[in-house]
Structure formats: structure tokens, C-alpha cells
A and B are shown apart, each in its own frame.
Chain A
């Protein structure tokens, strides 16, 4: 685990600069039964990775406030990622082209080597945001074991089975992280 939690220096660090690598433990403390722990990273690392991906899918869940969803939609626009509303959030996705698919079904499809909504080939990365922690975490564990797709979380929670994730963020930090992602994706 790359957590720097508990180290005194991080208290000051958090006040001045967004550090999304802090509190890098499973959001549900007991959900720690895997054999690896994800790398907690800052938005810069995630943005760089997403930019490298050829065919990534943004998987949006329902666990977002209106303000957070607006930021996620903005991120989707600037990143140009294909979007799926994976759950009830689909009814709230108004301003961007998007698909609806049940999250469990999507995970099953990815594991089976599904060729995507357009049939043009497998996704090389899935980018998750806005999910219920306990709903997504076991699904990430499934994907990490039964598929080769890159698993990236830009959610407010630390997901141990992702390939990269933020630490557990406060509401304010989450908004800041999304803003930072949007800014970096705009830079080109």
C-alpha cells in the first residue's frame, strides 16, 4: 500500500496542495481480502495514463451529487471517453452521448471479451467514478482476476483491486481532484 496515512507531514501537505494519495485504505475497512493493494496516485498520473489508452470506457455510477455529476460530465467531454451510465445514473446523464448498461452485466461482458458498444473491439481500460463502494469493489476484484483490462478509479474511494485509484477523499477533495483531471485533460 502506498498510503502515507499517519505521517505528520501529510497533515500540512493536505492543507496547501491536493494530495489524492492519502488515506489509501479500503473505504470499508474490512474489505481487505485481496492479495494486492492498488496504487494510490494523484490526478496527474491518472490523466497521463488515460491519455495513453486507445479505447477506454468511462463507467459512471449513481453515487454522485449534482455538482459532482456535472464535473464528471465535464471530464467526459474534455477527455473524449466513451461513456456508460452503469445504473440509475443513466436518467441523469443529459449532456453527453452515453449508453446505459447494468454494472454487473458490463463486468460480465468485459470478462467474456465483449467487443464494446460499437463492436469494434475490447476496451483497454475502464475508468470508474460515482459508484457505491461495496457494489464496485468486488466487481473490480472480478475484473482484476478474470480480465486483462486496465482498471482506473477516479472515484472518491480507495479501491484496493483497481490498478490505480485515489485515496479516500473528502467531498471537497473529490471536487478538486475532478477539477484537476479536467484541467490536465484540457492541456494538450
Chain B
């Protein structure tokens, strides 16, 4: 709260009030420092051991190096390979967390500039409007201004974490891991600041299960009109473009790529989403945009080079991406427009977002008539473009998706474009193949041209609905804790999908049909939306968006990942009535042992996805990565053969209880959709499941394993505590297997298990990893 006031009789004396917090941070670990949650991290890391998969065996951080760390060797500073991997992980996690935190800082400052510090935080029907912030920072922010101190805390912590990376600082891989988990936790706080600020101020849907369905696809824009495309993650610039268009009644198509797109449709559902990150190069190369406006994060670094080839002016609007462009922030609008339209400038930097909005609109209108000839439109050109292909295969050796580009090019030379069309579904349009082509063939264009005659990329996605409300948690939290709802599965991450995005859609469909709560956002939401059923409906058109089993929720852009962790936090605070403020360890412990939530980052590519994932892990939510996830260099796997790791305290009396391995891992990769689905079902199992819940979870685990892996899982029996846990449909078959293969004693008259389970079901069991919660 800020202000100026005078005291009667002292009119010439003004007292300025800077800023003060109405309440001090509260809780056990409010605004924790690096060391404050270390004990919790070490508990996790003891059971879920870090497993490192180095991309490099060298360290090149300082001039002592390069150092060879292979085969147990240490570098000049004494660091070993494991520790160096953990150090790199911390580095990338800080990158991710700081990207979101500075995004939060930028948009918060901008919104405070527009609406003032006292603008109220309003995110829907919730008492806990900022679950991540309140849990970590121990405060309940009421206004935009209250969020500033939260970001100051996050930024300070990230700075300390960054310092620990310097040569000669941290020397323990476990402590690097703990620090990375700290950065991951901070990331969810930074994301929440960004999301609650924009939802509150820009009138985005507020925990709205009926958020509108909006257009998505490469073909949704009306190209007869001028087209502006916004790329990035920060909606502020796009907001001012929309505002200027509305005020001056311009009839322009405004499309977006990446999370800015999601957020423009949260502001105005008339706006359209072109696609995710993998559509960036495709769409620029299509020649359709008349102006490209970039803000921050996940924007191709060659945007100006690519756009200028097709005379598309670029407007950079953030000091994070300036591309070497001339700063025209203080120049007159008409002069800037003239320079862009004439081609005198390929692009400009404008940090005044209102001005950027006006320039974008006026430039698009002026340049549109000149640009129609630049569109990629003639599939007949394929034969001309591929005629020089020698079949050398260099493109194959460059493709991150291991696509057989060379073979498809060869077929195209013979007039068969069907293989190129198949590539289109899996191609992430990175352009690496083109770099290595000795003939300079524009392979991305060739692939795109092959699908132009058949492509109808138009669909519907639900605009980001925002947080999960308190009433939704009250309705569903109990089912989630007892297992009656088999799990809440967050499908997030950007489009580095191993087998194309269709598999992601298939996974989401399988889960929602099986009554999981499916939560998505960002690129994953966009990619899932592109696929339809036989009646032409996307998943978002077919399923509702309430936090309820059998629903699919698009929470919003990637900063709304905080809404997903926020939902599981609220299960603990609302359903279990756990204290929220500054009570991280107890809440995370509750989530780990009782909330069947799993994150799936199937196509995760970015450092942000890494930090988001680690924020989930520290909070007790397991994360499954697609095969590219191995390049994050580390997972956290549980070793079930080591029985010493699988026990908890019973909070009722503090006794130690041996438990089934649930959840078995905190982070792991899988190689295919077939492996992913049973893994999701398994990692949703929690020690707290009641027998009905366990029966439902085991049913899904067994059915998905039989459907996709062709077998009963080897370990299904370890999750059986009583005959009531067994899936009803297969009870007799499973009892027989327990008797014959595992030596359990069965009373066949009553179909009861007499002897065998590692532990019996106890409906009052209160599993916890925290000794202090149990009475000693």
C-alpha cells in the first residue's frame, strides 16, 4: 500500500508512505532460503535416487579446463561427473525459473503502470487465490502491489542459486539437486505472480469451466485481411495491439504462436491461435504474416533473418529479445511505419508497448497489399526444389526426431509426396536438416508444400480457464485423495514429441475416457486441440472443463502451470485442512503420500519445462518425460528391490510402516505412448488410497498394461493389500495368480486373501515422511 497524506495543521508537511506489508510472512518456512527445505529434499533424494545421463563428459566452465570427467576422473577444481551434471541441471533450472520470474516482473510492472498497485487480485471463486505464493512466501497478497515483494524474494533466491554455480562453490551433487528443486519451487511462485496478475487485470477467464472455445490452426486466419502474428509468452504487447485495433476499428487478423496466442484468446476469444512452437518457422515461411511481433521466451532466434526473406517486418518488444535491432522507442510512429513498410528496416525494437501496438497495426495495413506474392502456395514447386537432392542422408543425421527425410526426398523426386506428407505430422520444423543439405534445399518448405493441397488445420481449443476454484476442490478433492478418481494428470510441455502430436491426443483421450482429470496448458493444449474425432470435434469440444473426473481443463499459458500445482496444494489445504501459509514441507508430504497427481511432459524441450517439472517433484508430484527428456541429464528413480526405502510413519502414532512403492518414481522417461499410459496409471497410486480407490487405480494399471504392453504388470501384486483392492472384473483370475505364482493363501469360499500382502489395508492410515507429524 502506498500514498501521500497531510496532517491538519501541518499542511506544508507531506508524509510519503512508500510500501509496507499488511502482514508479516507466516508459517514454518516462509520465504525459505536455500537451506530451509534441504532436509525435505534429502528425504526425497534418498528414496528417489538421481540417475545421471551425461550429454558431455567434459567441463568447460573455467579456464582450468576443458577437463575430462569421464570414468571417475575429477576436474582441476575437484568436481566429478555426477556433480557436474547436477551443476548443469541447476544452471538450466535457473534459466527456466528466471524466464518465468522476469516475465512476471515485466507484466506485473506493466499492469501496475496501467491499473495501479491497489488493483485487486481476483482469480475466481477462491479464498486461496495464490496457493503457490502463500505456501512458499507465507503471505496472502491482495493487490498487484503485494506481488512485488514476492518477486523480490524469488529474484534474490535465484541470484544466490546462480552464485553457487561458480567454480569452487558447491561440491555435492545432492546439494546441487536440492538447489535445483529450490529453483523449481521458486518457478511456480514466479509463474503464479505472472498469471494471477494478468488474470486479475486483463479480465481473463477466472476459474471458468465455461471459458469459450476459440479457433486454432495454421489455416484459421483470413488471409484476405492484413495479418499480425504475435510470438512468445508475454501478452502485454499483444494486448496493446488488440486495444489499438478495437479503438480504431481496424479489421485485422491477429493470430498468435506459443503462449502469447493462448493469452490473447483469454483476453479476447475472437483472436486466433496459429499454433505452438513447432509452427513458428512453418508459419513465417508460409509468408502469411504481414507483421511479426515478438515478446519473450521460446521465440526462434533467427526470426528476423527468416522474416526479412519474405519482407515481413519484425517488431521486438522486450529487452530479452532485441535481435540487434535499432531502438525506435522514442521515434514517431509514422516514421517507424514508413521505414518498416519501405524495407529500410527489417525490424525495430519498441519498448513502449502502446506505441508498438500502433506501429504493428499501421504497418500491417500498409504493407499487406505489397506482400501477397510472398506466400508459399504452389505445391508444383516441389519437383523443382528436390531435383538436386543426391540422397546423401545428411538431413537424417541432423534431424532431432530421427525422421527419414532423405527417403521422403527421394520419393518426392520420383513424384511421390506421400512420405513428405507423413513427415509433416512429426516434423518440429527446426530447420536443422537444411543447415546440412549440400544442395541448400529448403526442406521445411518442401514438407510444407507437400501438405498444402490436403491440409485443413482448423480446430477448437478452450481458452485458458485459469485456476481451479475452491468449490471444485471441495467437490473433487476427497475423490482424488481416496483414489476414487484415478488421478489428476497434467499434460504439459512443448512440442518435441517423439512420434508427433497425435500420440499426445491419443493419450489424453484414453485418460479422459477412463475418468482421469486431464489438465493441460500451453503448447500441449494447442497440439491436442488439432486432432478431432470422426464427427470433427476436438477433445475440448467433446469434454467439459471442470476439475472433475472425465474432464479436460486448459488452464492457460505456460505460467498457468502454477494453477496445476495450485490445485494439488488446495487439495491439501481445503480437503485436508492443512495450514497453507509457509507450510511447504507438510503440504508436499501430504501430496506425495495422498494426492494421485502425475505430470506428463511428453514433448518437453525447454529449460522452463525442466524447472516446472522440478517444482512438481519437490511438491511430491511425479513427472514422466518423453524420450527426449533423457537430455535433461537426470531422473529420479525409485529402486523397488531395496525394501529399506519404502516405508513411512503413521501420523497417528509415529510408528514406521512398510509401504508399497507408491509413487515408485519422481521423474522418469518412457520411450513410447505404449509405455507412457501404464506408467501414468502406476504413478497415480498412493499409500493413502482406500480399497475402492486402489481397485480403480489397479484396474487402470492392469488394463492399460495389458492393452499397450501385452501383459499383466510384473508388480501389480505389490499394490494389493486386501481382496477389496482387486479389480472386480478380474478378481478370480488375479486371486489364482496370487496363489499360484506368489504363494499367497486364499480362502476360496469367501474369496478372501488370508496371507500374503506386505501390509493390510487400514482405512485410517495416515502416511507421512515427516517424523514430527507422528506422535513418538
> Which residues in A have some Cβ–Cβ distance to B below 8 Å?
25, 27-29, 31, 33-36, 61-62, 85-94, 99-100, 102-105, 107-109, 111-112, 114, 131-135, 138-139, 141-142, 144-146, 168
For A25, what are the chain B residues with a Cβ–Cβ distance below 8 Å?
397
Per-residue interface assignment for chain B, residues 659 to 697, with 1 indicating a CB less than 8 Å from any chain A CB and 0 otherwise: 000000100111111110001000000000000000000
The 21 listed contacts between A and B (C-beta, < 8 Å) are A25-B397, A33-B55, A34-B56, A87-B674, A88-B671, A88-B675, A91-B674, A91-B708, A91-B709, A92-B710, A102-B675, A104-B637, A104-B669, A105-B637, A105-B668, A109-B641, A131-B671, A134-B627, A141-B53, A142-B51, A145-B71
For B397, the chain A residues whose CB sits under 8 A away are 25, 27-29, 168
Query: How many Å lie between the Cα of A133 and that of B498 in the bound state?
Result: 11
The 9 closest A-B pairs by CB, nearest first: A88-B674, A88-B672, A87-B671, A91-B710, A33-B56, A138-B53, A135-B627, A108-B51, A142-B53
Partner of A134 from the list B57, B630, B633, B708 (CB cut-off 8 Å) is B630
Give complex CA distance A52, B675 in Å: 33
A36 in contact with B70 (CB, 8 Å): yes
CB-based nearest A residue for B432: A30
Contact A35 B58 (CB under 8 A): yes
A160 vs B627: C-alpha distance in the bound complex, in angstroms?
A: 19
Q: How far is the CA of A108 from the CA of B635 in the complex (A)?
A: 9
Distance of A36 from chain B, by nearest CB (Å): 7
Chain B interface residue bracket vs A: 35 or more
Closest to B635 in A: A104
Contacts of A104 in B (CB 8 A): 51, 53, 630, 635, 637, 668-670
> Out of A29, A109, A134, which one reaches B402, CB within 8 Å?
A134
Give the A-B contact count at a CB cut-off of 8 A: 136
Residues from chain B with a CB closer than 8 A to the CB of A62 are: 671-672, 674-675
- Chain A contacts of B679 at CB under 8 A? 102
**In the bound complex, CA of A33 to CA of B85 (Å):** 13
Q: Do A107 and B710 touch (CB < 8 A)?
A: no
Inter-subunit contact A145/B637 (CB<8 Å)? no
Q: Are A29 and B398 in contact (CB under 8 A)?
A: yes
Closest chain B residue, CB of each to CB of A168 = B397
B630 interface neighbour in A27, A93, A138, Cβ under 8 Å: A138
- Residues of B whose CB lies within 8 Å of any CB of A are 49, 51-58, 68, 70-72, 81-82, 397-398, 400, 402, 436, 498, 627-628, 630-631, 633, 635, 637, 639, 641, 665, 668-675, 679, 708-711, 713-714
A34-B56, A34-B70 known; A87 and B714 CB under 8 Å? Answer: no
Separation of A111 and B52 alpha carbons in the complex (Å)? 10
Instruction: From the candidates B49, B68, B673, name the one contacting A108 in the complex (CB within 8 A).
Output: B49
| Cβ-defined contact, B674 with A139, below 8 A | no
Contacts of B51 in A (CB 8 A): 104, 107-108, 111, 142
Q: Return B70 CB to nearest CB of chain A, in Å.
A: 5
Please give the distance in Å from A69's CB to the nearest CB on chain B: 13
**How far apart sit A117 and B106, CA to CA, in the bound complex (Å)?**
54
Assembled-state Cα–Cα distance A34/B54 (Å)? 9
Q: Are A99 and B630 in contact (CB under 8 A)?
A: no
Contacts A103-B671, A132-B627; is A139 near B53 (CB within 8 Å)?
yes
B668 CB, min distance to chain A CBs, angstroms: 5
Given A87-B670, A88-B709, A100-B711, do A107 and B627 touch, yes or no (CB 8 Å)?
no
Chain B residues within 8 Å of A135, by CB: 627-628, 630, 669, 671
B639 touches A109 (CB 8 A): yes
**List of A residues within 8 angstroms of B710 by Cβ:** 90-94
For B68, list chain A residues within 8 Å (CB). 35
Pairwise interchain contact A134-B436, C-beta atoms closer than 8 A: no
Contact residues in B for A92 (Cβ distance below 8 Å): 710
Bound together, the chains give a CA A28 to CA B436 distance in angstroms of 12
In angstroms, Cα B402 to Cα A90, docked, is: 22
A119: nearest residue on chain B (CB-CB)?
Answer: B641
What residues on B are CB-neighbors of A146 within 8 Å? Answer: 52, 82
